[in-house]
Structure 1
Amino acid sequence: MLRRMWNEVLLYDTESDLSDFIKDQHVCVYRKETCNARTSITYKCSEYKKYPLCQFQLKGKESLDGYQLYSSEAHNHRTRAQTSRLPSPVRHNIVLVTDTGLTLRKIQKAVTVFNPQLSNNITKIRTHRQKNRCSIKSIEDLQA
Structure 2
Amino acid sequence: MVKRTWNFVDKFSSEDELQSYIVQNTVSIKRTEEIEAGKKVIYRCSKYRKYPECDFQVKVIFSHDGGVTVSTSNEHDHAHRAATPRAPSPVREIVKNSVAAGLSCIQTRRAIEHQYQGGVSRSQLCSLLNYHRSLELCYFFKINKL
TM-score (ref. length: structure 2): 0.79
Distance 1:113 1:3, change over 3 A: same
User: Runs of 5+ in structure 1 lacking a partner?
Assistant: none
Are the aligned partners of 1:8 and 1:71 in contact in 2 as well (CA < 8 Å)? yes
1:107 corresponds to = 108
2:58 corresponds to = 58
Give CA-to-partner distance per residue, 1:83-111, whole Å, 9 cap, x none.
33322222222223333343444323322
Cα distance in 1 for partners of 2:99, 2:46 equals 35
Cα distance in 2 for partners of 1:127, 1:24 equals 42
2:26 corresponds to = 26
Are the aligned partners of 2:29 and 2:43 in contact in 1 as well (CA < 8 Å)? yes
Are the aligned partners of 1:28 and 1:46 in contact in 2 as well (CA < 8 Å)? yes
Cα distance in 1 for partners of 2:24, 2:66 equals 23
SS in 1 for 2:71: strand
SS in 2 for 1:16: helix
User: Runs of 5+ in structure 2 lacking a partner?
Assistant: none
1:12 corresponds to = 12
Cα distance in 1 for partners of 2:78, 2:120 equals 30
Percent identity (aligned): 29
Give CA-to-partner distance per residue, 1:21-57, whole Å, 9 cap, x none.
1011011111111234822111101111111111000
TM-score (ref. length: structure 1): 0.80
Q: Cα distance, 1:65 vs. partner?
A: 5.2
1:94 corresponds to = 95
SS in 2 for 1:99: helix
User: Quick check: which one's helix share is greater?
Assistant: 2
Distance 1:127 1:37, change over 3 A: farther
SS in 1 for 2:52: coil
Q: Cα distance, 1:81 vs. partner?
A: 1.5
Are the aligned partners of 1:51 and 1:77 in contact in 2 as well (CA < 8 Å)? yes
Q: Map of 1:76-87 to 2, 5 A cutoff?
A: 76-87=77-88
Distance 1:95 1:72, change over 3 A: same
